Amino acid sequence: MLDAVRESLIRRLPKVELHLHIEGTLEPELMFALAKKHAVALAYTSVEEVRAAYKFGDLQSFLNLYYAGCDVLRDRDDFRALAAAYFERAAADNVVHAELFFDPQTHTVRGVAMATILDGLHDAMAEAKAKHGITSSLILCFLRHLSEADALATLDAALPHRARFIGVGLDSGEQNNPPSKFTRVFAKARAAGLHAVAHAGEEGPAAYIREALTLLEVERIDHGVRCDEDPALVHELVLSQVALTVCPLSNKALMVTYFGGYIGENYRQTAAALDLTAEELVTVAENAVRAAFIGPEEKDALLVRIRDAAANI
């Protein structure tokens, strides 16, 4: 159980969210509403049945539901509604900046245009800035279970919209899909001035983290929890200060895979499980700011806001 001081601190802390799959935030109520709008047949008969399906046994079982749910996302307003719902929950958790992953291949294969996806997401991002003061940006993720040729085609389709996203990432099932599979597409993305991140060491081995760092030259590792299998790698990560965007509730829910809760609940349950002090909670919030792809002035301003929040509990 958290004491009142830490509970208050978690509520008040300005938070930066660096590991959020926007399609993964599709709640059952919106899924059913959009399915009705587009006359899409779902494999589930009720909201309760979808929620019951959230008891995943592994990453692939989550991904099966994830990709099925994405089928209801068809037009610009669907993507706006998806992201707008996320930003409402983010505002309640005092998120002040978010860098959102999106998976265009999940949609373009169904005939949804890249511009449609980006237009809808940016509509919601602009609304969140105006309504809640939340700043945000997009990271285009490649689906690692598909080929690098498919990823290269996706990047080519996205580059005309280069100003609308800040980086590229790598997600989907890790098993038998190492980062080395995507060396050329990441080199092309970096040459275009894009930031690079990658999921590695979630269900894949610590060696995948090394590949992401050395071959893809990523700036952050998403998950990365299996680094502890390689003490030398842990030491190198400490020295280099490469951020790991871990997802504690997701890891717990699937024995080191995905899913669990939004950022405020991750703070609460992690603080309770590890008995984090108020000072350590502040450090977590500060580290997220330091790892964000924003300018030094924005970072300094957010760090001041975090310290002010900590000083006033």
With beta carbons less than 8 A apart as the criterion, state whether 200 and 182 touch.
no
Residues in the chain, how many? 313
Q: Which helix (H) or strand (E) holds 191?
A: helix 183-191
What number of CA atoms fall less than 13 Å from residue 147's CA on the CB side?
A: 3
Helix, strand, coil: what percent of the chain each, to 5?
60, 15, 25
Backbone φ, ψ for residue 139 (5° rounding): -120, 120
Question: In the numeric block, which tokens belong to residue 120?
Answer: 């809808």
- Is 7 assigned a catalytic role? no
Question: In the numeric block, which tokens belong to residue 16?
Answer: 């930066």
> Which residues are CB-neighbours of 109 under 8 A, at least 6 positions away?
none
Catalytic residue among 174, 202, 203, 211: 202
CA distance 185 to 181: 9
Secondary structure of 154-172 as H, E, C letters:
HHHHHHHHHHHCCEEEEEC
In what order do the strands lie in the sheet containing 195-200?
15-21, 95-102, 135-143, 167-171, 195-200, 220-223, 243-245
Question: In the numeric block, which tokens belong to residue 167?
Answer: 């980086």
Q: Which residues are catalytic?
A: 202
